[in-house]
A and B are shown apart, each in its own frame.
Chain A
Amino acid sequence: EAQVTQNPRYLITVTGKKLTVTCSQNMNHEYMSWYRQDPGLGLRQIYYSMNVEVTDKGDVPEGYKVSRKEKRNFPLILESPSPNQTSLYFCASSQRTGPDYGYTFGSGTRLTVV
């Protein structure tokens, strides 16, 4: 089944403790992206990747890192989480080299930083 898999689904952590949210897709998509969803703000892009070893900042990249060492995986790294990073996170992938063919979203990761 074609899908985008995120882990974990729920995570509660403390300020400053490094964490990684994993994202993997099995559709051989070149384009992958991370969004955060906050009430009243919709979905805002954090980082995106056009292909292996090609990543770039979105609208809200501060406090986040990503890597794209292989096509299927696109982990989101929070080196020193802070409470303002409490949010619902979605990984997404798209065929071809851009989002112009629609996203397939992962199931989401609800992160709470205390």
Chain B
Amino acid sequence: GENVEQHPSTLSVQEGDSAVIKCTYSDSASNYFPWYKQELGKRPQLIIDIRSNMDKRQGQRVTVLLNKTVKHLSLQIAATQPGDSAVYFCAESGGYNKLIFGAGTRLAVHP
């Protein structure tokens, strides 16, 4: 069945360094890949997304890369700040009327 593997499960970086989170998805028909940030005790919030007709998308300090050939997805957060500390989820959406989420990466940014 459809599955999204996400790693690492935890990530600790120093403030100012970059953080990279990677995902592998299983459904080659997936066409939409959002990333969500969930701060402690709060709801997941969309931070960036990418569609299958793109291989790179950039936001403010965040970049998502999509390699459809090997079904890999990655999120890079540049110049991390303590406020970036949260759990990050990748997800995929195909023709199944749902988003399938990875298990999440807990990012800790240390001052």
Q: A90-B43, A100-B31 are in contact. Are A58 and B89 (CB under 8 A)?
A: no
Cross-chain contact of A42 among B46, B98, B102 (Cβ < 8 A):
B102
Q: A45-B98, A99-B97 are in contact. Are A107 and B103 (CB under 8 A)?
A: no
> Helix, strand, loop or mixed for chain B's interface?
strand
Residues from chain B with a CB closer than 8 A to the CB of A48 are: 97-98
**How many angstroms from the CA of A66 to the CA of B66 in the assembled complex?**
35
Residues from chain B with a CB closer than 8 A to the CB of A50 are: 97
| B43 and A105 contacting across the interface, CB-CB below 8 Å | yes
**How many angstroms from the CA of A58 to the CA of B99 in the assembled complex?**
10
Residues from chain A with a CB closer than 8 A to the CB of B6 are: 42
Residues from chain A with a CB closer than 8 A to the CB of B99 are: 43, 45, 99, 103
Residues from chain B with a CB closer than 8 A to the CB of A98 are: 93, 97
**How many angstroms from the CA of A98 to the CA of B98 in the assembled complex?**
7
Residues from chain A with a CB closer than 8 A to the CB of B49 are: 102
| A100 and B43 contacting across the interface, CB-CB below 8 Å | no
User: How many B residues touch the partner, as a band?
Assistant: 20 to 34
A window 1-58: CB within 8 A of B: 31, 33, 35, 40-45, 48, 50, 56, 58
Q: List 27 A-B contacts (CB under 8 A).
A: A33-B98, A42-B4, A42-B102, A43-B99, A44-B101, A45-B99, A48-B98, A59-B98, A90-B43, A98-B93, A99-B32, A99-B93, A99-B98, A100-B31, A100-B32, A100-B93, A102-B34, A102-B46, A103-B34, A103-B44, A103-B46, A103-B99, A105-B44, A105-B45, A107-B43, A108-B42, A108-B43
B-contacting residues of A (Cβ < 8 Å)? Answer: 31, 33, 35, 40-45, 48, 50, 56, 58-59, 90, 98-103, 105-108
10 further A-B pairs in the complex, CB-CB below 8 A; given A31-B97, A42-B4? A42-B104, A43-B89, A44-B101, A50-B97, A56-B97, A59-B98, A90-B44, A98-B97, A103-B46, A108-B42
